[in-house]
Chains A and B, each alone.
Chain A
């Protein structure tokens, strides 16, 4: 068993990052094979910001990103190790601290951007290291660097057959000048990229020895549970703390004012105790009188009602191609349908604990987050301390799925530590997680299509009324195109296309949820595409391929662009369909549905194989999933993201909806907010499309096709078109 070791940051980096106003932390090192073969190194010779080598050959590669299940502690070093021709078994990971100078770029995780944005820097860093090693070898042999080559941790001089190991050259290489624009490998020369490698820390995770942000415990720390306003926006008017203080080990009751920072979601009163249970029990016994608030008017049903009114009126035109009205008038066949999307919660298995220690001259924060730079800024805002006094430490975390892009938990903990004058760890229960979430926005979509006599779609209008994923406290923040991208299909594929958007204000907190805007838009558009196909007596796959048309690149100015390649979308649709046996007649009671989307720069299509019993209970038997996320760095890791995307999408499609009644979230735990269980997980047959393109997003791309593929399969099986998830028996009856 290998226990991760903690030790002080290397001294020279302490100096350099301090000078840059950066933030200094401890690091941990893990061997690449999750075993015990490689001794962690204390003092490698650094060749650049990303990689250092020890005389014993150990290659230390920096991972500046937070691990939350996406596998970045494995895939990031794979890219660099390949480019420098390191031996994978020699690689250890250096968990880089949050830097104040952005030397690693953004260190947050979100938007499926990690591999996409680091692909070039990692390859350049690896190539730089490789060239420095070659130069060191050439110097020793008194030959030209260009006469040397590298392979599997060796610098080789082929003319003489001499070779030197990277370890032997480590010091000399670190003293070589840093080359500019070193040559990059051709993809045919990749030896690590594109091969499946064990997840870093696989063993520690299974053994329960990997430390999560939630496991943080420091001397003098109080565990805190916060009683938050039961109604959105309500303030604590009066607090009677006697009941709480009578609980064993409860030490203090401290208010956490929402006004302490705009990021804080709710006014609260914290109970501080010596252990979690005492804090939770103290919170139960705490008596807080809450004031009235306008949040009482907020209901999820009320929003859906409002959407129903607004959807009859034109919204702001976000995109207009051709003349929709004229084309629609001339159409031989028209079809229209409304879709709805409910609020959704992230519900990571770790609801989160947030440690903050605010002192007069410094702040330490340790907890789950996706936006560490935001957390550092919040700490500075709350305390007034300069950036170099703020130490935000990045840990592994138990899932987040977009929830931690909102730093409310961090803000609350920092404000509480300041108010309490001591280190605290704010513990979130599952009830806290569900009731005080930042929910996937709710929306309504009216889709209207016109086809000419030959079956070609000539007119398409998508009108969306929606809460925005941005801003719940400042409701003026509604970027016009925020909830459906103007470049998303079938834009650019239908000559007369109009996208309209009507933003709707709400005080209900919202935020990005794995796959963000695509989760709702894809459901509406991909389901409606299926409807149009059936209305026009066309095969749903055929209609999609007709819409895509010739293989070409369409301009795409939003996240995932700059282009959408219709050929790549076609290929994933065809691959999923082929594997599912699309178009073959079946003899069982199962039916297929298909959907495919371009999201986060990548292409995913899925065919769902579904059966529905007489009571409307849906069973998803298999998902045939094709993905083109560019070159797969770690194929087994990519497959994990596909499986994960399917599971995440299925929980939402089959079970989940967050209701808000009178400013209060109804769902509280897994009994009324179930997520997919072991025996409900379908088989997932994954096809990774051979792709020469640089990697793009992989963590979210497999979510959007799930719900529409299942809805389309339900229609195929039963003739019932469910236009609002979740696809429960009640929904099936309602739409029957």
Chain B
């Protein structure tokens, strides 16, 4: 069986699996990184979003054989080693209801803020429309994202990238 060396959250992880295995299932089943959730398997709901070299990507749409040496950041990597301003904002705004989609929401928001901080309405909609929430937490997601950018402009809440 093929072996793949993946750069996950700044560490090299080696997995053995079929080449068409989606990154989502590599993360969840083979690496035990269960913060990344399954929602649709077709790249339609965005809740399995991770970062590939900083870009928000639905992990269900990325075959393990296509990842190469791209730096993969999951929600575990994003929050590793300390508090993340988006997580704080999520807590402050009491965003979660069932909570299942929220890691994907935060990953999408973190990638957005890396390039747009503070984000204009168009950028916000484009990034966050990709991640569905059935509980209807969108208003609080919006407030939480804007809270991280409005609080202090000198230290914009750009996400900390993990990995190379």
Q: Any chain B CB within 8 A of the CB of A54?
A: no
Question: Which residues of chain A from 32 to 72 have any CB-CB distance to chain B below 8 Å in the complex?
Answer: 34, 68-71
Contact of A679 among B84, B94, B128 (CB under 8 A): B128
Interface pair A644/B96, CB less than 8 Å apart:
no
Whole-angstrom CA separation of A281 from B35 in the bound complex: 23
Nearest-neighbour CB distance to chain B for A258, whole angstroms, equals: 25
> Is B42 within 8 A of A677, CB to CB?
no
CB closest residue in chain B, given A274? B29
Task: Contact check, A349 vs B129: say whether CB atoms are below 8 A apart.
Answer: no
A373 in the interface (beta carbon within 8 A): no
As a 0/1 sequence over residues 93 to 115 of chain B, the CB contacts with chain A under 8 angstroms (1 = contact) are 01111111111001000000000
For residue A429, CB closer than 8 A to chain B, the reply is yes
**Contact digits for A603-618, partner B, Cβ 8 Å, 1 yes 0 no:** 0000000000000000
* Closest chain B residue to A212, Cβ basis: B100
As a 0/1 sequence over residues 107 to 132 of chain B, the CB contacts with chain A under 8 angstroms (1 = contact) are 00000000000000000110011011
How many Å lie between the Cα of A268 and that of B154 in the bound state?
A: 59
Shortest Cβ gap from B6 to chain A (Å): 15
- The reply to whether A277 and B17 contact each other, CB–CB distance below 8 Å, is yes
Contact A208 B90, beta carbon cutoff 8 Å: no
Q: Give bound CA distance, A212 to B47, whole Å.
A: 14
Proximity string of chain A (255-287) to chain B, C-beta cutoff 8 Å, 1 when within and 0 when not: 000000000000000000001111011000000
* CB nearest to B131 among chain A residues: A678
Q: Which listed residue, B17, B35, B40, B129, touches A670 by the CB 8 Å rule?
A: B40
Distance in angstroms from A194 CB to nearest chain B CB is 16
* Residues on the B chain within 8 Å of A399, using CB: 97-98, 100, 134-135
**Contact of B98 with A349 in the complex, beta carbons under 8 Å:** yes
Q: How far is the CB of B55 from chain A (nearest CB, A)?
A: 19
Q: Which of A205, A217, A281, A636 is close to B99, meaning CB atoms less than 8 Å apart?
A: A205
The answer to whether A684 and B95 have CB atoms under 8 Å apart is no
Beta-carbon contact of A430 and B100 below 8 Å: no
Say whether B28 contacts A276, CB under 8 Å: yes
Which residue of the partner chain A has the closest CB to B127?
A678
Could you give, for residues 139-156 of chain B, a 1 whenever the CB lies within 8 Å of some chain A CB and a 0 otherwise? Answer: 111100000000000000
Closest A residue to B142 by CB, please name it: A678
In the complex, are the beta carbons of A647 and B75 less than 8 A apart? no
**Which residues of the other chain, A, contact B75 by a CB distance below 8 angstroms?**
207-208
User: Which residue from B36, B95, B100 sits with its C-beta under 8 Å from A350?
Assistant: B100
Residue of A nearest to B136 (CB): A647
Quote the shortest CB–CB distance from B15 to chain A (angstroms).
10
- Near B by CB (< 8 A), chain A positions 202-223 give 202-203, 205-212, 214-215, 217, 223
Please give, as numbers and ranges, the residues of chain A lying within 8 Å of B22 by CB-CB distance. Answer: 277
Q: Which residues of A contact B21 (CB under 8 A)?
A: 275, 277
Q: Is A471 an interface residue (CB 8 A)?
A: no
Assess the B94–A198 pair: CB atoms within 8 A.
yes
Q: Does A381 contact B (CB under 8 A)?
A: no
Of A206, A636, A681, the contact of B139 (CB 8 Å cutoff): A681
Counting CB contacts under 8 A, is B12 at the interface?
no
Rounded to whole angstroms, the CA-CA distance of A196 and B92 in the bound complex is: 12
What sequence of 0s and 1s flags, for each residue 158-199 of chain A, a beta carbon within 8 Å of any chain B beta carbon? 000000000000000000000000000000000000001011
CB closest residue in chain A, given B100 = A398
Decide yes or no: A683 and B79 within 8 Å by CB, A207-B87, A349-B133, A398-B98 being known contacts: no
Beta-carbon contacts under 8 Å, B1-57 to A = 1, 17-18, 20-22, 25, 28-30, 32, 34-42, 44-45, 47
Interface assignment of A537: CB less than 8 Å from any CB of chain B: no
* Nearest CB in chain B to that of A209: its residue: B35
User: Is B76 on the interface with A (CB-CB < 8 A)?
Assistant: yes
Kindly state the separation between the CA atoms of A612 and B25 in the bound complex, as whole angstroms.
42
User: In the complex, A201 Cα to B100 Cα: how many Å?
Assistant: 12
Contact A206 B106 (CB under 8 A): yes
- A69-B34 in contact given A277-B25, A645-B136 (Cβ < 8 Å): no
The contact sample of 25 A-B pairs, CB cut-off 8 A, is A1-B82, A68-B98, A69-B135, A206-B87, A206-B90, A207-B84, A209-B76, A214-B38, A217-B32, A275-B29, A276-B25, A277-B21, A277-B22, A277-B29, A280-B41, A348-B100, A430-B40, A640-B94, A647-B134, A648-B134, A670-B45, A676-B136, A678-B131, A678-B142, A681-B138
List the interface of chain A (C-beta within 8 A of B). 1, 34, 68-71, 196, 198-199, 201-203, 205-212, 214-215, 217, 223, 247-249, 275-278, 280-281, 347-351, 396-399, 401, 429-431, 636-637, 640, 643-648, 651, 669-671, 675-679, 681, 683-684
A-B contact sample (14 more), CB < 8 A, given A208-B75, A276-B25: A1-B82, A69-B97, A205-B96, A206-B90, A208-B34, A215-B34, A248-B18, A277-B17, A349-B100, A398-B100, A643-B139, A647-B136, A648-B135, A676-B138
**B interface, CB within 8 angstroms of A:** 1, 17-18, 20-22, 25, 28-30, 32, 34-42, 44-45, 47, 74-76, 79, 82-84, 86-87, 90-91, 94-103, 106, 124-125, 128-129, 131-142
